[in-house]
Structure 1
Amino acid sequence: MSTEHNPVPKTYSVSLVTGERFECAENEKVLLAMERLHMAGVQIGCRGGGCGACRIAVLKGEYELLPMSKNHVSDEEAAQGFALACRVMPNSDLVIEAAPKTSN
């Protein structure tokens, strides 16, 4: 009998300002959890941080931000809570909203 234990990842609640809510594991990207559950709250693009289609604003909560294109989220915007959903993994419950980039 093995004494090793593989802990189950923590799961957090992610709420959209539209009222939709879903569960996302701490080691799962927010966009992939939404896609897995067939939710349409955020656009889906390349899934790798390069296209910017899944741009969101994280209004509440803590998260890990993986590398992404600065063309879609600048360092200043990231500090204000903007991110790409395909590059966000939750460390707590989150409240998010879709935040497509506007043309200048």
Structure 2
Amino acid sequence: MHTVEIAGSGLRYPCAAEQNLLRAMEVLGQRGIPAGCRGGGCGVCKVRIEAGDFHAGKMSRACLSEAEQRDGLVLACKTYPDSDIRLRPVALLQRCLEKQRWREQGR
């Protein structure tokens, strides 16, 4: 079991090596974290891996270019941890997490 930290949010969750990063978040019942096709074809769950080792399945180049992947971006639905991971949501995922944090703080 590995720990996944969502950078800047204070959120951490467990993720088994055979479980993708998106599914592990969903199992915990996290609200506001967008998920699209869950198969690597829509790009909604794009994140940047800041630290840790991982392996990834095939991702659509329409959603994630080779340059983005070299820069540490992956699709959470196709990424599996090989160690503890620190990731940073990008675009839509980041906005949803910020909204969730505001709701939890009662704002």
Aligned residues: 91
Contact 1:41 1:98 in 2 (8 A): no
Structure whose alpha-carbon radius of gyration is higher: 1
Contact 1:63 1:90 in 2 (8 A): yes
Which residue of structure 2 lines up, in the alignment, with residue 13 of structure 1?
3
Cα distance, 1:100 vs. partner? 2.5
Residues 1-104 of structure 1 correspond to what in structure 2 (within 5 A)? 11-17=1-7, 18-40=9-31, 42-100=33-91
Contact 1:42 1:98 in 2 (8 A): no
* Structure richer in helix, relative to its length: 2
In structure 2, give the amino acid aligned to 1:16.
Answer: I
**Partners of 1:15 and 1:68 in 2: CA distance:** 22
User: CA offsets, 1:36-83, max 9 Å, x none?
Assistant: 111247421110000111010011011001101111111111111100
**Partners of 1:63 and 1:86 in 2: CA distance:** 12
**Partners of 2:32 and 2:88 in 1: CA distance:** 8
Extract structure 1 runs of 4+ deviating beyond 6 A. Answer: none
Structure 1 residues 24 and 41: CA distance shift in structure 2, 3 A: farther
TM-score of the pair, normalised by structure 2: 0.80
Q: Which runs of 5+ in 1 are unaligned?
A: 1-10
TM-score of the pair, normalised by structure 1: 0.82
**Partners of 2:33 and 2:4 in 1: CA distance:** 12
Q: Which runs of 5+ in 2 are unaligned?
A: 93-107
